Amino acid sequence: MRAMALLPSCEAYMDSRQPETFKSFFDCWLVEQNRHLQELVAATQQPSSVDEQSLRLLVRRVMEHYEHYYKAKDKWGKQDVLAMLSPSWTSRFEDAFLWIGGWRPSMAFHLLYSKSGIQLEDQLDELIRGLGRGDLGDLSPTQMWRVNELQGKTIREEKEISEKMAKHQETVADSSMVELSNMASEMMRRGDEVEKEKVESAMESKEEGMKEILQRADELRLATLKAVIEILSPKQAVYFLIAAAELHLRIHEWGKQRDDKYRRHNRVYCTG
């Protein structure tokens, strides 16, 4: 963590020179996310009288950080969509839970409900006495209704994008691709050179469809995050963003550790 703190801020890094890869940007972005997490946690340790305007400004900075991430991802996605869908900067554990190159939008609600339940249980005695902490354990009936409505809307959009992705994946076996693969195979059997232009054109058309789907998926991810934050009070938003950052950073860290352990085990096995 000490070494990570020596890296420049993400925005300064982006302004000073263009990162060579999205992984360079992502590693830097994680450093910034960890810094924001520390600020969010510090805000919860302030006196309960801390003004809401300060919390709103903090939440806004964190949300701008997420917006910065998706803006950069969109730029790189247009250059190399396959890298975004099969990221080299995440662990195999994270990859197993990816939905179209990122987190499934409906997970935001599971995170909210989980954190809300934990904080509610932690303050039951206070609630019985008519007291509350103003955190996610204090979600009002109106807030719960709005969250439920948003969840239903998000799941419908998520399903629509998933279906679009499924249909696009099926096109890899459409008549044009089957005909092209058959023609290429025949030419290879005769010892002729395959027409690379036709192959490149076919592959590029498939990638173009992926770019549109990835963009829609990322737009839904960011829109869902923003909509959840809008429903919450500034203090509740701080707790939600803490839970989101902790979950992301820890799973990324644990996944990388498991990958390192697996690689060490394989080296020992291969040389043993």
Per residue of the chain (272 residues), give pLDDT as tens.
333 333 445 555 455 455 578 999 999 999 999 999 999 999 998 766 568 899 999 999 999 999 999 999 999 999 999 999 999 999 999 999 999 999 999 999 999 999 999 988 777 666 555 555 778 988 999 999 999 999 999 999 999 999 999 999 999 999 999 998 998 898 888 887 878 888 899 999 999 999 999 999 999 999 999 999 999 999 999 999 999 999 999 999 999 999 998 887 666 555 55
pLDDT recorded at residue 18: 55
Q: Would you state the pLDDT for residue 198?
A: 87
Q: Tell me how far apart the alpha carbons of residues 3 and 195 are, in angstroms, rounded to a whole number.
A: 50
pLDDT of residue 4: 36
CB 23 within 8 A of CB 30: no
State the pLDDT at residue 16. 44
Q: What is the pLDDT of residue 6?
A: 36
What pTM was computed for the model? 0.87
Sign, CA dihedral 33-35-41-46, equals negative
* Cβ(237)–Cβ(147) below 8 Å: no
Whole-angstrom Cα distance, residue 81 to residue 212?
A: 10
- State the SS3 of the chain: CCCHHHCCCHHHHHHHCCCCCHHHHHHHHHHHHHHHHHHHHHHHCCCCCCCHHHHHHHHHHHHHHHHHHHHHHHHHHHHCHHHHHCCCCCCHHHHHCCCCCCCCCCHHHHHHHHHHHHHHHHCHHHHHCCCCCCCHHHCCHHHHHHHHHHHHHHHHHHHHHHHHHHHHHHHHHCHHHHHHHHHHHHHHHHCCCCCHHHHHHHHHHHHHHHHHHHHHHHHHHHHHHHHHHHHCCHHHHHHHHHHHHHHHHHHHHHHHHHHHHHHHHHHHHHHC
CA distance 90 to 105: 18
Cα–Cα distance between 160 and 260 in angstroms, integer?
A: 37
Among candidate residues 30, 91, 67, the one with its CA nearest the CA of residue 75: 67
The C-alpha angle with vertex 62 and arms to 30 and 87, in degrees rounded to 5, equals 35
Cα(258)–Cα(272) distance, integer angstroms: 21
